[in-house]
Amino acid sequence: MRKWTFHLTGTTHILNTVSTFGSSGGLGEAAAWLCLRQDIYISLTSQQPLRTDLHSFHHSDVFQRNDDFAWSSRMVFLLAKVVQSAFTDPTMAQGVQHEIEEWYSSKPDTFDPVRSAPRGPEPDRRFPTIWLLLPVHGT
């Protein structure tokens, strides 16, 4: 285990033990979402399964709210499900793909780019340019 993952070991243990953190509202839920984002990053960079129990997030109010922050959190949750299916249960991928398509087709217009330009052959255009309204839209 790499030492840059030790903080996540303790945090995920607490979150998985107290399963209401992911849906308790307030600071506890905010911390749970931050932990989930860090767990996704570490899982992808270390090629290891998620440590966070995703079931504790199912009752979060982000699945009822309709603001951009809630929509962004829903996509983070879907990304976590993709990562989980890649490392633990590949049969889950088909259902997650449907959920992602549903998210994309029903997302608010605010998630659409205000400007975009395709990539080009120039060194400063290796990636497409995509402008969004708020940082939360790119999370």
Spacing of C-alpha 99 from chain mean position: 13
Cα distance between residue 101 and residue 93, in whole Å: 12
d(CA 23, CA 21) in angstroms, rounded, equals 5
pTM for the full model? 0.79
Two tokens, residue 16? 């998985």
Q: CA 48, 99, 71 angle in degrees (round to 5)?
A: 90
When computed from its CA atoms, the radius of gyration of the chain, rounded to whole angstroms, is 17
**87: which 2 tokens?**
């490392």
Is 93 or 70 the better-scoring residue by pLDDT?
A: 70
Q: Report domain extents, the chain.
A: 3-107, 113-139
Residue 117, strand partner residues: 129
pLDDT digit string (tens) for 16-69? 555 555 555 677 778 888 889 988 998 999 898 998 888 888 888 899 999 999
| 51 DSSP assignment | -
